[in-house]
Amino acid sequence: SQTIHQWPATLVQPVGSPLSLECTVEGTSNPNLYWYRQAAGRGLQLLFYSIGIDQISSEVPQNLSASRPQDRQFILSSKKLLLSDSGFYLCAWSTGGAFKRSYNEQFFGPGTRLTVL
Amino acid sequence: DQQVKQNSPSLSVQEGRISILNCDYTNSMFDYFLWYKKYPAEGPTFLISISSIKDKNEDGRFTVFLNKSAKHLSLHIVPSQPGDSAVYFCAASYRAGNQFYFGTGTSLTVIP
């Protein structure tokens, strides 16, 4: 069966420090991968999605970047964190190909709570 | 900016009664809607969905209603159980799109 892992679960970082959040998926090949963020008082917002290695689309211009060095690994990074980067970050996967919007085709990891002080 | 809105951040309901969670959207192109349920320290999990060709979809204790003219959907949970206590997100998508648009979530507490 497929599983998705995210780490760390919680993170407290000072303003200006770098960030690296990792997400890995097991039990499937060539998945689509997604990074979402929920900031205080906001809905889950799509940040990046990837349909393959080194194929990443950015949905919201900001202080963050994403990379996909391996088929089932998705990394969210920042060189210098801002206070506004605080939030809850979720990784998700779906079967590969075009965007899948059916109910049983997008699955979420447990998330990372990031607090920037 | 926020195309999907859940205006009630929290809701408390007595066990056995009905829980009604509401969601409004602004984009008339949305034609597929989902509800996700999220427990603390876990990712959201799919609960129920509805296509715009329907106005109601039922799955056990959970029913989703869609009012396209009002751009409004609601999730009914009957009867509510303490295990239903969680944050509920509604999400929407449209055919030519490439993402889900999520609401801000409603935290439901079912009181035993």
Give me the residue label for tokens 């060539």. A30
Mean pLDDT over A10-31 rounds to 94
Pairing of strands A10-13, A112-116: parallel
Above 60 in pLDDT, residue A102? no
User: What is the CATH class of B4-111?
Assistant: mainly beta
Task: Spell out the domain ranges in chain A.
Answer: 3-116
Subunit contact A104:B46, Cβ cutoff 8 A? yes
Q: What chain B residue is nearest to A99 in terms of C-alpha separation? A: B98
* pLDDT score at B101: 87
Interatomic CA distance for residues B82 and B67, integer angstroms: 28
Above 60 in pLDDT, residue A55? yes
Interatomic CA distance for residues A35 and A43, integer angstroms: 13
Choosing among 3.40.50.720, 3.30.70.3270, 3.30.460.20, 2.60.40.10, the CATH entry for A3-116 is: 2.60.40.10
Task: Spell out the domain ranges in chain B.
Answer: 4-111
Pairing of strands B56-59, A107-108: unpaired
* pLDDT score at B69: 96
Count residue pairs from A and B with Cβ separation < 8 A.
63
Above 60 in pLDDT, residue A100? no
Subunit contact A110:B42, Cβ cutoff 8 A? yes
CA of A97: how far to CAs of A30, A40, A49, in Å? 8, 32, 12
Considering only CB atoms, which chain A residues are within 8 Å of B1?
A: none
